[in-house]
């Protein structure tokens, strides 16, 4: 039997390395942005490293109660240029900033993006290309929505011919694994423990920062900081 691994996750803003380990560990990655937007979450913000330690970089959004992620629009038309200035201020002295800045500078200084989900997808795709991740990315909106959460995930898996579902460890608390097992689909959870450390620009090391921190500090060795490339 052909094994096909699938992951289904909401988009994050310039996610951390664990997010890309999941993408790189599967054959199909589904952006799950037709679910409710959660305020003050990873959807529209992430952390960067500054000389003082971790700091939030947040996309300002116009949010209404009950809005789905893909419906959320940005509230400040100048957010891209502002974020790029903060990234430059904090990473211009990183060893590989000059070598790895181009695709991200092109995004932040290029066409203005007003939709949060689209911005996230463009940045995720830019990171995938930079890291050499070739996993196919699709959109959950092409599948049925009138189902309970676990049943909907199962439906997407079956539609894609998936034989294994890979998820983040937080899903253990709510995922109904039994319905996947009944369909012969294996369920596994990403292990985020024991990542290697690397030289950051702050004295206090932190794993839970944007992947850009890895790229700008590690450059061509960035892949060695992800488990999926070293297994």
pLDDT per residue as tens digits for the range 126-174 = 999 999 999 999 999 998 888 888 999 999 999 999 999 999 998 888 8
CB 6 within 8 A of CB 28: yes
Whether the predicted pLDDT of 1 surpasses 80: no
Are the C-beta atoms of 180 and 154 separated by less than 8 Å?
yes
First to last CA, the chain: 23
> What is the rounded distance in angstroms from the CA atom of residue 110 to the CA atom of residue 52?
29
* Whole-structure pTM value: 0.95
Q: What is the tens place of the pLDDT at every residue in 161-213?
A: 999 999 999 888 889 999 999 999 999 999 999 999 999 998 889 999 999 99
How far is the C-alpha of 29 from the C-alpha of 84, rounded, in Å? 27
* DSSP code at position 166: E
């Amino acid at each position: 039997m052909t094994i096909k691994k699938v992951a289904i996750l909401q988009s994050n803003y310039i996610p951390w390395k664990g997010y890309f380990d999941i993408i790189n560990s599967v054959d199909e990655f589904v952006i799950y942005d037709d679910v409710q937007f959660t305020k003050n979450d990873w959807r529209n913000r992430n952390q960067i490293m500054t000389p003082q330690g971790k700091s939030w970089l947040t996309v300002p959004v116009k949010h209404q109660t009950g809005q789905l992620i893909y419906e959320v629009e940005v509230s400040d038309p100048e957010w891209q240029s502002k974020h790029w200035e903060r990234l430059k201020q904090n990473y211009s002295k990183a060893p590989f900033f000059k070598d790895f800045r181009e695709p991200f500078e092109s995004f932040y200084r290029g066409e203005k993006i007003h939709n949060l989900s689209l911005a996230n997808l463009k940045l995720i795709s830019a990171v995938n290309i930079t890291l050499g991740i070739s996993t196919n990315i699709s959109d959950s909106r092409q599948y049925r929505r009138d189902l309970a959460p676990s049943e909907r995930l199962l439906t997407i898996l079956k539609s894609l011919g998936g034989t294994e579902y890979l998820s983040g460890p937080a899903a253990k608390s709510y995922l109904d694994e039994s319905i996947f097992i009944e369909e012969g689909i294996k369920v596994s959870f990403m292990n985020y423990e024991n990542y290697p450390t690397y030289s950051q620009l702050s004295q206090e090391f932190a794993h839970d920062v944007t992947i850009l921190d890895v790229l700008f500090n590690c450059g061509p060795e960035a892949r060695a900081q992800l488990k999926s490339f070293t297994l």
